[in-house]
Structure 1
Amino acid sequence: MSGRGRHAARGAADAPAAGAGLGDLELPVMLLHDDAIEHNVRTMADWVRAAGVQLAPHAKTHMSRDLVRRQTDAGAWGFTAATPAQVRTLASWGVGRVLHANVLVDPASIAWVAEHLLAADSATEYLCYVDSEAGLDLLLRELAPHRPDRPLPLLLELGFAGGRTGMRDDVAALALARRVAASEHVRLAGVAAFEGLMPVGDDPAAPPGAAELLERVRGFVTALTDQGLVAGVPVVTAGGSSYFDLVVRELGPAMWDVPVTTVLRSGCYITHDHGVYRRTSPLGADRGNAALRPAFELRASVLSVPEDGRVLVGFGRREAPTDDRLPVVLGAVPAPDGAHDLDVTGWEVTGVNDHHAFLRVPSGVAPAPGTVLRFGISHPCGAFDRWRHIPLVEDDVVVGEITPRL
């Protein structure tokens, strides 16, 4: 995979020039702190290495070629994709292995995979999920006319009642595994699951039922290997950005009597956040280990103080993700005369419109219009979705930009 230097090339004609100060940027603006990204990439790489597992970072988080390169340089086993479009983009960037964490059911996409990723000269290894007899029938029917050079590696996905995709019944899953193993144009590569969507209880360390799902995966993989149904060393994959320590505990190297490649699919660790992953990541502050650092920062100006205790700020749901929780106030950007050096204790974002945020502040507090405030966000995927050109900063100086792809 070819590199592009440390930072992504500038994209838009009006993108901030490297070397620009943050005071030169039009507000609101979403920033990424380069030192936090570099720290997080190293921290996660060290963590999975010590745990004896592999990491296929979920590229949907950022879909940035520059960040893919950094994760590759840190030793990523491959990259995870959610959609066929993401698969095509990652392959075009020279990614050597793509784990498509979804079932493949679109005939046009199946044809593309057969022609490009199952060809003898393909530089990209591709794996996807299967979770039904009908889904396997569709794959076999659509693959047959293309007569691919290599069989399609499939991960049989196990799911849970009320969840997303994945087989609920292990007897049916074992029957499907036998069909995959006996078919000409596919092969059984392993097993997949996702514990991150299970209903969350009072313990942020693990949703109730997550351990049972992973134990079920372990038992199922053992059954497959005992019957000789997996071609090669089985790939066992689970783990988003929240409970990957639980995955290592239940599916890590200490739990197997046979060789197994355990693959985490965490993606949001690269930027971390001030919300959902602060609460749920094993390397987040609320879990007692603040090893990861939030890299995103939103800056926006005070617009108005229309009444006591209410401040209007110039950002909204079009600028910041709000699907998990509203942004949190981190502080004010000091003005040269110190006028904006404010104590923001007790300041809270209570709601957003498209381009307005409502802050509740203590009585008598009235920041001047134009005061620049700093905010932390929750759920970084939504931030990458909203900004096509994100300034990359070090010490309040622009050093490059990140340009996510949809």
Structure 2
Amino acid sequence: MNGEEEVVVDHRFKGLPPTAQGLTLAALAAERRNLFTDGFTTPVIALSAESVAHNLALMESYSARHGLAFAPHGKTSMAPQLFARQIEHGAWGITLAVPHQVRVAREFGVQRIFLANEVVDAAALRWIGSELDADPDFTFICYVDSVRGVELMDEALRGTSRALDVVVELGAGDGARTGARTEAECAAIADAVAAAPTLRLVGVAGYEGEVPDADGERVRAWLRRLVALAADFDKAGRFSRTDEIVISAGGSAWFDAVADVFAEIPELSSPVCKLLRSGAYVSHDDGHYRHLTPFNRVPDEGALHAGFRLWAQVVSRPTAEQAFVNAGKRDAAYDLDLPEAQVVRDARTGEVRAATGITVSGLSDQHGWVRTTDEADLEVGDWVGMGLSHPCTSFDKWQLIPLVEADGTVVDYIRTYF
């Protein structure tokens, strides 16, 4: 944990037991407290230890089976402990989105980083250049998608001893996010990289999740454009300065399409690193990705398990049709879907039952609005366990997340750095 085990528990970390004040994280984890009976306060989020272990193993085997190198997108969690576990499970390295995240990953010893974004900030580029110069074993790759961007990168990196590796980003179509829109633009960018002594072209990349009106056919068509671009670059000798060609794509919704199309990559002049970047799989979710996961389309490959559950307590029951819990926008991911009431833990008996007739209908800053039917069995003091949609915004709301076994035993604490 790079010294994080010596961090002292205090007021910074919501949901932790007040009686843990002054303990180090290592000491608190060693106590193996129970989430429900050993002093944790609501609201509190829990990450399933079993689901995390299952999901890590599943994507490791999936990547190996399809011949893919795997650089999961770390911006999903920004949790170095999870970075380390992903690398232990065969990940090539970690994908990130902005320079601050690179600094976090480097602080925790990550040696291979793919930055799925353009970097034109001179201060950040100079720092990246200094990291490359100081550590010959550090691998760093980032996007370029404009000639102007190449010029800014080259200007900022003058004086560094190692060239910075870049991949040309092919945009996913009109109306998509970043990336050059045409193959001709990509070629012009590649020419600019070739003329920049501080940069080295090592491949092509993009994000198929931005394909407009994405479906299997459209996504695969764009991926084939990406592969064809790499083949054209190789034929033109654009990869002559690298001994490995990187072709990269892969969010969390279409990695089955990436696997299919990358299996068609022709033989090129150098070995190809087929780099998949899906990141939301570690915790998965109970909303957005539950519906979009490729494993729904290829069930023989396995299934991811949702990892997060947010526990809140019923603090008000003003009518038979309404209740309020003490978790709101500050605690729950809500940018895509509202939390899903799943279970109730009875305050009197400790028994857990299905959240029948209970629906989260809205969120205030610190309250969840709950609608109930005649079937609902819910009292003030009961704990409501809720599934969450979109793991990125679950991780970024909690600096310290209990890793919890099925019986409620907390076995570790996951630190995040957003």
Cα distance between partner residues in 2 of 1:148 and 1:387: 38
Is 1:270 matched with 2:279?
Answer: no
Unaligned runs of 5+ in 2: 11-15, 18-27
Shift of 1:53: 0.5
1:228 paired residue among 215, 223, 237: 237
Cα distance between partner residues in 1 of 2:122 and 2:292: 38
Cα distance between partner residues in 2 of 1:20 and 1:86: 31
Is 1:387 matched with 2:398?
Answer: yes
2:63 matched to which residue of 1?
Answer: 48
Is 1:255 matched with 2:270?
Answer: no
SS of match in other structure, 1:25: coil
Cα distance between partner residues in 2 of 1:313 and 1:330: 14
1:89 matched to which residue of 2?
Answer: 104
More divergent stretch after superposition (394-403 vs 40-49):
394-403
Task: Give the TM-score, by structure 1 length.
Answer: 0.91
1:215 paired residue among 224, 232, 236: 224
1:165 paired residue among 157, 165, 178: 178
The answer to whether the Cα contact below 8 Å between 1:94 and 1:123 also exists between their aligned partners in 2 is no
- Structure 1 residue identity aligned to 2:96: A
2:146 matched to which residue of 1?
Answer: 132
Q: 1:137 to 1:162 in 2, by over 3 A?
A: same
More divergent stretch after superposition (85-94 vs 15-24):
15-24
Q: 1:49 to 1:401 in 2, by over 3 A?
A: same
Cα distance between partner residues in 1 of 2:349 and 2:153: 66
Deviations 1:127-159 (CA, angstroms, capped at 9, x unpaired): 111000110111112222xx2221111110011
The answer to whether the Cα contact below 8 Å between 2:216 and 2:257 also exists between their aligned partners in 1 is no
The answer to whether the Cα contact below 8 Å between 1:329 and 1:349 also exists between their aligned partners in 2 is yes
Deviations 1:367-392 (CA, angstroms, capped at 9, x unpaired): 11001111110111111100011111
Shift of 1:265: 0.8
Overall identity of the aligned pairs, in %: 36
SS of match in other structure, 1:9: helix
Unaligned runs of 5+ in 1: none
Matched length:
393
1:367 matched to which residue of 2?
Answer: 378
Is 1:122 matched with 2:132?
Answer: no
Cα distance between partner residues in 1 of 2:273 and 2:219: 20
Cα distance between partner residues in 2 of 1:25 and 1:366: 23
Cα distance between partner residues in 2 of 1:328 and 1:10: 35
Cα distance between partner residues in 2 of 1:152 and 1:389: 34
The answer to whether the Cα contact below 8 Å between 1:327 and 1:349 also exists between their aligned partners in 2 is yes
Q: 1:41 to 1:84 in 2, by over 3 A?
A: same
2:364 matched to which residue of 1?
Answer: 353
SS of match in other structure, 2:126: helix
Q: 1:324 to 1:208 in 2, by over 3 A?
A: farther
Shift of 1:260: 1.6
The answer to whether the Cα contact below 8 Å between 2:175 and 2:212 also exists between their aligned partners in 1 is no
SS of match in other structure, 1:283: helix
The answer to whether the Cα contact below 8 Å between 2:330 and 2:397 also exists between their aligned partners in 1 is yes
Shift of 1:221: 0.6
SS of match in other structure, 2:281: helix
Cα distance between partner residues in 1 of 2:222 and 2:300: 25
The answer to whether the Cα contact below 8 Å between 1:332 and 1:341 also exists between their aligned partners in 2 is yes
Q: 1:286 to 1:120 in 2, by over 3 A?
A: closer
Runs of 4+ in 1 over 6 A off after TM superposition: 285-289
Q: 1:113 to 1:378 in 2, by over 3 A?
A: same
CA RMSD of aligned residues (A): 2.2
